[in-house]
Amino acid sequence: MNWEVNNIDTSKETLSLSKQLNVSNTVASLLVSRKIKTFEQAKKFFRPSLKDLHDPYLMKDMDKAVDRVLEAIKNNENILVYGDYDVDGTSSVALVCKFLRSNTNNQIGTYIPDRYDEGYGISFKSIDYASDNDFTLIIALDCGIKAVDKVSYANKKNIDYIICDHHKPGKTIPLAIAVLNPLRKDCNYPFKFLCGCGIGFKLIQALSISQEHWDSNVESYLDLVSVAIGADLVPLVGENRTLCHFGLKVINSSPTTGLKAIIRGINKPEITLSEVSFFIAPRINSAGRIKHGNNAVELLMEESFDNAISFSKEIDEFNLERRGLDKIITAQALKQIVDNKEQNNFSTVVFQEDWHKGVIGIVASRLIEKYYKPTLVFTKSNDVLAASARSVKGFDVYNAIEACKVHLIQFGGHKYAAGLTLKPEDYLAFKKCFEEYVEKNIDKKSLSPVILVDEKIELVEITPKFYRILKQFAPFGPANKQPVFCSENLTDSGYGKTVGEEDKHLKLSLLQKNSTVFKSIGFGLGDKLPLIKNKAEFKAVFNIDENNWNGVKSTQLKVLDIKNND
């Protein structure tokens, strides 16, 4: 691991902010690095307000979307709420469907495509289903921005579309009634990084504004938005930060019944975005990975707690199965890389036709943990090959895939995560093209994992007040990472040891001259034990966390890496 350590910013604006807020230079420097340089900006950061949310009608086509929904309601049309099978998609469907059902007497249906039979995005099969069941309006969430041919097919069947998507548009925008996407070049909406569920929320917000007699408490739906934000890894700045902040408040006070059933398995006094990302989201995701995304929608829309508990237990089983498959397929993929002598390639591209399509994205992330390079994992899906792509910091895997599109049937996604399909006979040509593109375009520094360290500090700076302020930087995520610190000349108290299965983790008590002892845990750092033995001095990078054991809270350091002192 390479460490990139920032020194504390001591510029005039940092020192001024420190005085205005009555905080240390370290805290002020952390704020400035997040482009927070004035008292008012700091106030908005530390005290988000729902008043900070933008007017939904600033989004291109929002007026058209609202008018079409209201027209459908007035004419008693059937409305189909459609979404992708991942957390963002299923949360979006639950949110919009629950809102519409609570405010209309129309027939509001839901549709999640089958990952294996239909694949990602809008499908022809779903349009036929809508036509056969007299749905004349489809609201597509977290997908549809590239579904030009599907929307055209729906238009011929007299079915209208409202598309709510946050993925990168292609050259042609589908001919839908309304296309809500801040990334459209002709959209002036001030915030560009909403997730699909966030755009679904802006739609119900606009509907609520337009209809005074409708449910005006749209904030009660923000628990679903915060789950989607945590799962989809969108930047936690601006409007996302506000939506997530208040969504977590809903989760901790009056969550949707389905979320309440999932949360029962979390033994913590407060649900943070960490629990959302690593406990709630994987369980919701497992439905679409192992069985069908409908299972997740049913759970998120269920009103009976007893039924929700039953659905939640089923999803727990899906998650266990997903974890087992993940472990098996990762081992097979690692063996394939070694057998093919591809460890030194600039990219990782692997394929086995019987790998479970629902977990190949997770496996791609696992392979990056081992080899740290842009990675694609392929499996066979019906008559084509399907892949999930993941990338490393600083490399746009979407652009790399787009550069090889001559070999593809379709593709879509983001800078760091994407999906694609191709014909089996085009696999080797695509693999060669992708490897050549990566070799030519990647910064070779991007092939080594890097820990970005916010500040170098002394342990004596870690006071109760310091930690209380740090907690207010949450929720943490992309563009607002949990602060990472570095300290040198550390020693262990002498009781450091490895813990966990196969001695994988490192438990230690950190000391520095004049400091108190800080209990610390280093996950996956069991092999670093020799560096801390016999009172040897070392340096470490870490987050500052809180350990809550039997109701007793104490400051704990979560060690990310250890090295010898220079």
Whether 214 is covered by a domain: the verdict is yes
The confidence score (pLDDT) of residue 445 equals 86
In this predicted structure, what is the pLDDT of residue 506? 96
Residue type, 391: S
Two structure tokens written together for 368: 């990056």
Distance (Å, rounded) from C-alpha 112 to C-alpha 14?
49
Q: Is the pLDDT of residue 147 over 90?
A: yes
- Does the pLDDT value for residue 513 go beyond 90? no
* Residue 131: predicted pLDDT: 98
- Binning pLDDT at 50, 70 and 90, where does residue 18 land? very high
Contact 232, 87 (CB under 8 A): yes
Residues of the domain holding 474: 2-7+451-564
Residues 440 and 370 reside in one and the same domain = yes
Phi-psi group of 248: left, alpha or beta (phi > 0 → left; psi -120 to 50 → alpha; rest → beta): alpha
DSSP 477: B
Q: Does some domain include residue 35?
A: no
Same domain, 476 and 516: yes
Spell out the alpha helix ranges (H) of 165-293. 196-210, 222-232, 238-253, 257-263, 273-275, 281-290
Q: Pairing between strand 410-413 and 417-422?
A: antiparallel
- From 428, 447, 466, give the residue that closes a domain: 447
CB of 160 closer than 8 Å to CB of 137:
yes
Q: Give pLDDT, residue 269.
A: 83
Domain count across the chain: 3
DSSP tally for the chain: helices H, then strands E: 20, 19
Position 552 scores a pLDDT of: 77
- Alpha carbons within 13 A on the beta-carbon side of 538: 22
Mean pLDDT across 433-439: 98
- Do 257 and 163 fall into the same domain? yes
The reply to whether 295 and 271 lie within a common domain is: yes
Average pLDDT of the chain is 94
Q: Under 8 Å CB-to-CB from 398, ≥6 apart: which residues?
A: 168, 411, 413, 414, 415, 418
Q: Which of 532, 515, 376, 470 is nearest to 29 (CA)?
A: 470
Q: If you average pLDDT over residues 142-148, what whole number do you get?
A: 95
Contact present, 129 and 183 (Cβ < 8 Å) = no
Tell me the C-alpha distance between 530 and 536, whole Å: 9
Cα–Cα distance between 408 and 404 in angstroms, integer? 7
Reported as a pLDDT band with limits 50, 70 and 90, residue 116 is confident
Q: Are 559 and 521 in contact (CB under 8 A)?
A: yes
Residue 347 has pLDDT above 90, yes or no: yes
Q: Which of 409, 428, 447 is the last residue of a domain?
A: 447
Residue at 399 is within a domain: yes
- Mean pLDDT value of segment 445-450: 89
3-state helix, strand, coil in the chain (%, to 5): 45, 20, 35
Report CA-CA distances (Å) from 60 to 161, 212, 468. Answer: 15, 22, 41
Structural tokens at position 361: 């994205």
CATH classification of the domain holding 267? 3.90.1640.30
| Cβ 458 vs Cβ 546: under 8 Å | no
The angle, 0 to 180 degrees and rounded to 10, between the axes of the packed helices 222-232 and 196-210 is: 160
Is 403 in the same domain as 493?
no
Beta strands, E only, 266-409: 348-351, 375-381, 384-390
Please determine, for residue 421, whether its predicted confidence score (pLDDT) is greater than 80. Answer: yes
Do residues 111 and 247 both lie within one domain?
Answer: yes
What percent of the chain clears pLDDT 70, i.e. is strictly above it?
100
User: Does residue 263 share a domain with residue 117?
Assistant: yes
Whole-structure pTM value: 0.90
Domain end (from 279, 314, 349): 314
Residue among 65, 96, 69 at smallest CA distance from 189: 65
DSSP code at position 432? H
437: left (phi over 0), alpha (psi -120 to 50) or beta: alpha
Q: How far apart are CA 257 and CA 218, in angstroms?
A: 16
CATH code, domain with 476: 2.40.50.460
Statement to judge: residues 117 and 212 lie in one domain: yes
Tell me, yes or no, whether 370 and 285 share the same domain.
no
Domain contains 139:
yes
Same domain, 478 and 498: yes
Structural domain contains residue 14? no
Q: Coil, helix or strand for 377?
A: strand
CATH number at residue 387: 3.10.310.30
Terminal-to-terminal C-alpha distance of the chain: 15
Residue 321 in any domain: the answer is no
Using the predicted structure, report yes or no on whether residue 132 has a pLDDT greater than 90: yes
CA–CA dist 155, 174 (Å, integer): 11
pLDDT digits (tens, 9 = 90+) for 378-415: 999 889 999 999 999 899 999 999 999 999 999 988 88
Which one is predicted more confidently, 394 or 198? 198
38 occurs within a structural domain:
no
Residues 155 and 217 in one domain: yes
Confidence of residue 457 (pLDDT cuts 50, 70, 90): very high
222 in a structural domain: yes
Q: What is the reported pLDDT for 341?
A: 95
Peptide bond between residue 475 and the one before it cis (omega within 30 degrees of 0):
yes
Give the tens place of pLDDT for each residue, 271-318. 999 999 999 999 999 999 999 999 999 999 999 999 999 999 999 999
Q: Are 172 and 62 contained in the same domain?
A: yes
Q: Is the pLDDT confidence value at 550 over 80?
A: no
